[in-house]
Amino acid sequence: MSTAKTGDTVKVHYTGRLDDDTVFDTSRGKAPLELTIGEGNLIKSFENGLIGMAVGEKKNLVIPPEEAYGQNDEKLTTTVSRAHLPGSVQPAIGMQLQVKQKDGSVFMVWITGMDAETVTLDANHPLAGQTLNFDVELTDIAG
């Protein structure tokens, strides 16, 4: 029986859960996720967890924060005056914004708090600090 290896294009169904059982993403009800193992388009531990699986096999992958989106870094959170936001932005908690730095580079932030005068911006990935639990099922190996 053939098993998945680095370089194989595979299809998987997955459901990602946090430790409190909150589902943060799933392919169920949609087409399976297609990826080439080793290309680095997904979390490395997710891709590596598929190696050795056979079509139809199911597995649970537990990925600690250090192997996913890292720990939450308080230095990546700041509070700014609402006046610093573009006039067209109506801020809401959970809203994602692009921030342009002086050197022209762009990064993403999320609004995590606000009051009448300020907005708290967080550049941490929303899943930073979380252990990710993936239930995966390998549905195809293209080779």
**pLDDT per residue as tens digits for the range 93-123:** 999 999 888 898 998 999 999 999 999 999 9
Distance (Å, whole) CA 4 – CA 40: 16
Tokens of 133: 């639990």
Specify the range with the lowest mean pLDDT, choosing from 19-23, 57-61, 104-108, 113-117.
104-108
Burial per residue of 102-134, b for 16 or more beta-carbon CB atoms within 10 angstroms, e otherwise: eeeeeeebbbbebeeebbbbbebbebbebebbb
What 8-state DSSP symbol labels residue 32?
P
Q: E-assigned strands of 18-131? A: 23-26, 33-36, 58-63, 77-81, 96-100, 106-114, 118-122
Categorize the per-residue pLDDT at 67 as very low, low, confident or very high, splitting at 50, 70 and 90. very high
The stretches of 1-143 forming alpha helices (DSSP H) are 44-50
Is the pTM for the entire model greater than 0.85? Answer: no
Closest CA to 50 of 92, 94, 5, 90: 5
Specify the range with the lowest mean pLDDT, choosing from 29-33, 68-72, 103-107, 138-142.
103-107
Tell me if residue 4 falls in helix, strand or coil: coil
Q: What confidence score (pLDDT) does residue 89 get?
A: 86
Question: With 70 as the cut, is the pLDDT of residue 17 above it?
Answer: yes
Angle at 109 between CA 80 and CA 114, to 5 degrees: 40
Mean pLDDT confidence for 54-61:
98
Question: With 80 as the cut, is the pLDDT of residue 127 above it?
Answer: yes
Question: With 90 as the cut, is the pLDDT of residue 86 above it?
Answer: no
Mean pLDDT confidence for 66-93:
92
* Cα 103–chain centre separation: 26
Categorize the per-residue pLDDT at 143 as very low, low, confident or very high, splitting at 50, 70 and 90. low
Distance (Å, whole) CA 45 – CA 40: 10
Ordered domains of the chain (ranges, CATH): 9-69+127-141 (3.10.50.40), 74-122 (2.40.10.330)
Categorize the per-residue pLDDT at 8 as very low, low, confident or very high, splitting at 50, 70 and 90. very high
Mean pLDDT confidence for 42-53:
97
Count of positions (residues) in the chain: 143
Contact predicate 25/68, CB 8 Å: no
